[in-house]
Every structure is written in C-alpha cells, then in structure tokens.
Structure 1
Amino acid sequence: SRFEPRLALSGGPDGLTSYRSLAPQIGPLLAPGGGAFFETGAAQAGAVSALFDDHGLAVVCVHDDLCGRPRVVEVQQVTDK
C-alpha cells in the first residue's frame, strides 16, 4: 500500500466500484476489435470479467501473475460480422 495511489486501493465495499464505472465507458472508446487490459485484485477476475461481458465486451483472456493467480482481464470490442 506504500506504492499504490489511494484511489487504486479504495474500490468500495466489494472492490469493484471503479470497474462498474469503467465498464460502460470502455466499449465506445475502443476501435472495432480493439482491446484493453485491467489489473484486478485477489479473487476479483471473475467478477470483473462478468461486468465487462455484461456491457458487451468480449473477455479474451484472464492472465495470471507470476504466482499463478488470475490478475489481468483482457477485453476486446466485439465486431459485428
């Protein structure tokens, strides 16, 4: 906690407040097929993935950290075929 900005550590009661705010805003900012990466806290990757999925983004992958814990959610703007 010494090196993290306070905002990065205060995510509300369940730690997902920032993700809830970002999820509806990211899609319109991405080009078709464009992607974004989101670092998550311990045991949050599933909930964060669901939030972005609920807002029409495809969850491409959940990347593990060096200790093998799910840490980064990769999302992509869905393109119509």
Structure 2
Amino acid sequence: MTADSRRGASLNRFVQINVKIAPGRPEAVVAGIRDSLVDAASIALAPMLAAGPSGFQVEISEFRRELTASRNNMMQP
C-alpha cells in the first residue's frame, strides 16, 4: 500500500465510466455493451489496477430527452 505522508492516507484510485445510450435497446444488447466496456477498461486501466488499491465501475443509462438540457458551441460554421 502506498501512503501519502502529508495526510497519512492511502492513495486509492477509482475511475467511474458513465455511458448514455439511446432508449429501446434489448437488455442483452445493453449487457453486451457493458461487457465490452468492462473488457476495454480492464485492459486500459491494468497499470493502475496493478499499482495499488484501485477500481473502476461502468454504468450504462438510457438517455431521456425530457430530463436532459445542454448548451455548446462545438458546431460553429
């Protein structure tokens, strides 16, 4: 375990992966997406996971237009 001498606390690492998808996909498809993301994250985060106390979580939710608002200027002409 790695300790941070300034605080005396262990250096835990955690990655939260949130993915929004369009509604209406069958549960098996959503589970397949989840499994693919977990597999990819396991590979990408392997060095972090091997370095000490760490973890990650994948969460998939359906996009609900009526509960979403956004503003951006990414598509300027």
Question: Which structure exhibits the higher relative contact order, with contacts defined as CA atoms closer than 8 Å and separated by 6 or more residues?
Answer: 2
Return the TM-score normalized by structure 2. 0.30
User: Could you tell me the TM-score, scaled by structure 1's length?
Assistant: 0.29
**Higher gyration radius (CA):** 2
